[in-house]
Amino acid sequence: MKSRHSVGDRWLTGEIYVKVVGVWRYVYRAVDQHGQVIDVYLSRRRDIASARYFFTSALRVHRTPSEVITDRAPALANVIEELIQAAFHNTGQYANNRCLAVNGSFDHRRGSVDSITSEVESWRVLAPNRTRPLGQAAVQMCADAIMHVRPPGGISSGLSDKLNWTVNQLVAGSEIGTSP
């Protein structure tokens, strides 16, 4: 397994709009200047509360960056000013190209995202080298999928089994790989 270095002091952050299980979601993602994934957050909304949750969760685990590079999203600007006052917030046109390149590195996995059958499995596509275990939010997300995902023909027993297996793996603290 490839060893990971400590997280860099420059964070490239952005959000992308993706379809997961037929529902459009915002994916907040931060990587450092070396391309290492810092944190990923799947949200129903693109607002200040979501941006605050994303940055708070990343800052709980990693040291404060000296520079945060984003697009010009007002929610991100407000939260960075509030939570990371010491960091330089770079929204320059050419700096943003690196943010777009980060999202571009996601796009080559787009076919995988379209074929995902549960929201929780999408975490493997969005953050394949994520070191933190998936928390209660992911368990809740999977439980919500079991309760609320109702395709036109009803939920198949295979999908139900896969989602239940994923919830059990998460509750047990196991890593999610492929289901039986």
Residue-wise pLDDT tens for the chain (180 aa)? 455 678 889 998 888 877 777 778 888 888 888 878 888 888 888 899 999 999 999 999 899 999 999 888 888 999 999 999 999 998 887 776 655 554 444 444 444 333 434 444 455 445 554 444 445 455 555 555 544 444 445 555 666 666 666 666 655 655 554 434
Question: Does residue 131 form part of some domain?
Answer: no
Number of compact structural domains in the chain: 2
Residues 153 and 117 in one domain: no
Whichever domain contains 74, its CATH number is 3.30.420.10
What would the DSSP string read from start to end of 63-114? PPPSEEE--S-HHHHHHHHHH-TTSEEE--HHHHHHHHHHHHHHHTTHHHHH
Question: Do 75 and 158 sit in the same domain of this protein?
Answer: no
Q: What is the pLDDT of residues 131-180, one digit of tens each?
A: 444 454 555 555 555 444 444 455 556 666 666 666 666 556 555 544 34
Q: Rounded CA gap, 37 and 88, in Å?
A: 20
Q: 167 and 114 share a domain?
A: no
